[in-house]
């Protein structure tokens, strides 16, 4: 395990983010303070994830002592439209049809906060989708139930395996945590030797 000078708290209930952080060698605990994912309506989509990650971190700011808080937020953007988590199967279907046969962006923002400093960052990955058939979309929604995923899909699920021929950028950013940026941000807190 990579040793940090302070306890690391991942402020995310996402099992994917938890697994990625564990696989990257970090010891951490999970604590989530619910926050409203509201942002200014005129904010450019590229700024939204880091803004939301910062809001999630700020929820901890009053009680911070010697911990490191790590937050993240992921959005899917196509034609300057943000596709959030679908409310139901109907909305998931519409999103997947919109992404079918097209290129889109997955933008993950993160924030590393201690009582003395705050570092917010963004990473963007271009994702290319094949044309999806109605049968593939229906199967995916029924089997994988992607209602907790921005854009109604997980790159590591069936639809990502069969429907995404290539990406430009970090696969882990699409999964919801740009591990390379998190590692860089946490490096200064690592115990030497």
Catalytic residue numbers read 73
For residue 19, what is the enclosing H or E element?
Answer: helix 15-23
Contact criterion met (CB below 8 Å) for 173 and 106: yes
User: Could you give the CA distance from residue 65 to residue 74 in angstroms, rounded to a whole number?
Assistant: 27
For residue 95, what is the enclosing H or E element?
Answer: helix 89-99
Beta carbons within 10 angstroms of residue 20's beta carbon: 20
Q: What's the 3-state SS for 171-186?
A: HHHHHCCCHHHHHHHH
Q: What contacts 128, CB < 8 A, 6 or more positions away?
A: 102, 103, 164, 165, 166, 167, 168
Nearest to 76 by CA among 144, 40, 129: 129
């Amino acid at each position: 395990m990579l040793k940090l000078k302070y306890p690391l708290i991942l402020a995310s209930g996402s099992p994917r983010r938890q697994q990625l952080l564990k696989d990257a060698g970090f010891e951490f605990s999970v604590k989530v303070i619910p926050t409203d994912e509201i942002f200014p309506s005129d904010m450019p989509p590229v700024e939204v994830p880091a803004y939301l990650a910062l809001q999630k971190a700020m929820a901890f700011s009053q009680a911070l002592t010697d911990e490191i808080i790590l937050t993240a937020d992921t959005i899917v953007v196509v034609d300057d439209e943000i596709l959030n988590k679908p409310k139901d199967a109907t909305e998931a279907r519409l999103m997947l049809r919109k992404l079918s046969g097209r290129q889109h962006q997955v933008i993950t923002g993160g924030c590393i906060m201690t009582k003395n400093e705050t570092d917010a960052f963004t990473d963007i990955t271009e994702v290319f989708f094949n044309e999806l058939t109605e049968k593939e979309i229906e199967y995916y929604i029924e089997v994988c139930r992607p209602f907790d995923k921005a854009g109604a899909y997980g790159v590591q699920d069936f639809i990502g395996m069969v429907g995404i021929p290539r990406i430009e950028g970090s696969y882990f950013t699409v999964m919801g945590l740009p591990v390379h940026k998190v590692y860089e941000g946490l490096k200064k807190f690592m115990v030497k030797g």
